[in-house]
Structure 1
Amino acid sequence: MLPAGHRLRRREDFARAARGPRSGSRLLVVHVRASQPTVPQSRVGFVVSKAVGNAVTRNRVKRRLRAIVAGLLPLLPPAHDVVVRANPPAADAGYTELETETRRLVQAACDRAGVRA
């Protein structure tokens, strides 16, 4: 599970991170941006809109993404915020496909931001 200190919660934090460099595919879009100086660890937020599907489908996608990103926490750059936005095709993707895309897009977004993941 994703520890509480590593979660984005406030709207302002999501908005700030969404203005950072991004990388996307048909399944996901990942944004990375340096966080506030008072936050030493990386934080992650998830956006899964109603376009992805009904509540059961959205929650399944969120659970999968949280589990995937929890395994990536040691690889994320410190003091950066990451936002993972699911596109509608993510509802039909398998776990391994989501994991592969998430890893690739996080690395690509970090490269664009000029940080090492």
Structure 2
Amino acid sequence: MKKAFRVKDNKEFQAIFKSGKSFANRQLVIYYREVPDQQHFRVGLSVGKKIGNAVTRNRIKRYLRQGFLELEENIKSHYDIVIIARRPTKDMEFYEIKKSLTHLLMKERLLKK
């Protein structure tokens, strides 16, 4: 995923948390807000230190990025999305994380039909 499609600035994260909507399942929490003049969705990832060491946290972020990359053409384009990983993701494989991510996106209707 290109760096232009990532939410990196703390102000942007805070704006999404403050004015966006949220939904969660056991593994992931999603915050999102609509940005009408945006051409492509943007993604921010957050994996806390309680989940594991740096290797584990980076593996989870890599899996989440790859999941978004595979779902890229199905995700609605005018949204900023922040994903927060919860503890159960520590022991999950890629396909499980992708399934959980797809579940969240479908529930919140961020996927195109």
**Pairwise CA distance, 1:35:** 2.6
- For 2:22, the equivalent position in structure 1 comes to 22
The answer on 1:34 being equivalent to 2:34 is yes
**Matched residue, 1:98:** 97
Q: Tell me which residue corresponds to 1:58.
A: 57
Conservation of the 8 A alpha-carbon contact between 2:5 and 2:42:
yes
Following TM superposition, the consecutive aligned residue runs of length 4 or more in structure 1 with deviations greater than 2 angstroms are: none
Structure 2, unaligned runs of 5 or more: none
Per-residue Cα deviation, 1:24-60 (whole angstroms, up to 9, x for no partner): 11110111111373x3211001000101111111011
The one-letter amino acid paired with 1:30 is I
Give percent identity, aligned residues only.
Answer: 29
Give ranges in structure 1 of 5+ residues lacking alignment.
none
Instruction: Find the residue that maps to 1:90 and give its secondary structure.
Output: helix
Q: Is the 8 A contact 1:23 1:106 kept in 2?
A: no
- Asked if the contact 2:7/2:42 (under 8 Å) is kept, the reply is yes
Say if 1:108 and 1:18 are closer, same or farther in 2 by CA, change over 3 A. Answer: farther
- Residue 74 of structure 2 is aligned to residue 44 of structure 1: no
Within 1, Cα distance between the matches of 2:78 and 2:15? 13
Q: TM-score, normalised by structure 2?
A: 0.88
Count of aligned pairs? 111
* Partner in structure 2 of residue 80 of structure 1: 79
Does the Cα contact within 8 Å between 1:8 and 1:43 map onto a contact in 2? yes
